[in-house]
Amino acid sequence: MAQEPVHYQADGGGEGRPAAERSVLRWWRGPDPDPVEVGRLYVQENRTETEIAVMLPVSRARVTAVLRDAGIPRRDPRKNCPVDPDTLRGLVRAGATATSVAREHGVSHSTAARWFAEAGLLGADPKADTGQLVELYVHQRLTTREVAAELGISKGRVIQALAAAGIPRRPRSVRRPRGARAAVTDTALAEVYHRQGMTIAEAATHFGSARSTCGAGSPKPG
């Protein structure tokens, strides 16, 4: 279900408080992009969020916010294998390697290795068994970089191991809030900023976070 967007703009203060002029971050200034137009460009014309931001023009963060509020699923930015698994297995039987496939299709070696893993062409990594990956990546929601640090291997090996284990990657837009930032949700911001009439600086002090956390970029759902 589409979320109600939180608009950061000056309004009256809280009960018993005079209205105060509050700074509005540059990314949020001006009229909202037309959700219909953003949806048409993103879904029908297959434009990227960055391309749409340049065309309108608004910040990429605002395009992301419009897509989220409109309930439009964001595309996975990772490059998919251009051939089906059976074809890829046939290429390997004929002598193809991850390096040669990467060169043929103009992708990085790690991307080609991920394709091999997804096709079941790479064995399990002895340093990253499925149980560890599920615990760290799925249950603890660590990033691939954090999982790599825990296991003592490279981030690329973690990505390959996830693919080989059939564990879907989280979209880049889904990030686990950390520290004081975890408390800065849409609901919390609406409460202190709109209902209580706090400024961005006051909200930052209230949450014990940086001003940029409370005011910059698209608000993150809790």
Give pLDDT tens digits for 42-65: 999 888 888 888 888 888 888 888
* Residue 30 DSSP class: S
Looking at the fold, whether 141 and 72 belong to one and the same domain comes out as no
Q: Domain boundary residue among 146, 165, 184?
A: 165
User: Considering Cα of 55, then 60, then 65, then 68, what sign does the dihedral take?
Assistant: positive
Query: For residue 86, what pLDDT band results from cuts at 50, 70 and 90?
Result: very high
Distance CA 70, CA 4 (A): 9
Q: Answer whether residue 200 shows pLDDT above 50.
A: yes
Tell me if 1 is assigned to some domain: no
Tell me if 33 is assigned to some domain: yes
143-176 residue pLDDT tens: 898 999 999 999 888 988 888 888 888 876 565 5
Looking at the fold, whether 59 and 103 belong to one and the same domain comes out as no
Looking at the fold, whether 72 and 179 belong to one and the same domain comes out as yes
Domain that holds residue 181: 26-76+175-215
Looking at the fold, whether 67 and 95 belong to one and the same domain comes out as no
Looking at the fold, whether 101 and 158 belong to one and the same domain comes out as yes
Tell me if 170 is assigned to some domain: no
Q: Answer whether residue 14 shows pLDDT above 60.
A: no
Looking at the fold, whether 94 and 139 belong to one and the same domain comes out as yes
Distance CA 202, CA 27 (A): 20
Question: What is the four-CA torsion angle of 23, 5, 221, 16, rounded to 10 degrees?
Answer: 50
Looking at the fold, whether 50 and 115 belong to one and the same domain comes out as no
**Nearest CA-CA partner of 186 in 211, 208, 214:** 214
For 109, phi then psi, to 5°, come to -60, -40
> How is 53-80 classified by DSSP, letter by letter?
HHHTT--HHHHHHHHHHTTPPPPP-SPP
Looking at the fold, whether 98 and 161 belong to one and the same domain comes out as yes
Tell me if 92 is assigned to some domain: yes
Query: For residue 210, what pLDDT band results from cuts at 50, 70 and 90?
Result: low
For the chain, give the percent of residues with pLDDT over 70.
Answer: 69
Q: How many domains does the chain have?
A: 2
Looking at the fold, whether 65 and 107 belong to one and the same domain comes out as no
Looking at the fold, whether 44 and 116 belong to one and the same domain comes out as no
- Give this prediction's pTM: 0.47
Tell me if 137 is assigned to some domain: yes
Question: What is the four-CA torsion angle of 215, 219, 220, 222, rounded to 10 degrees?
Answer: 90
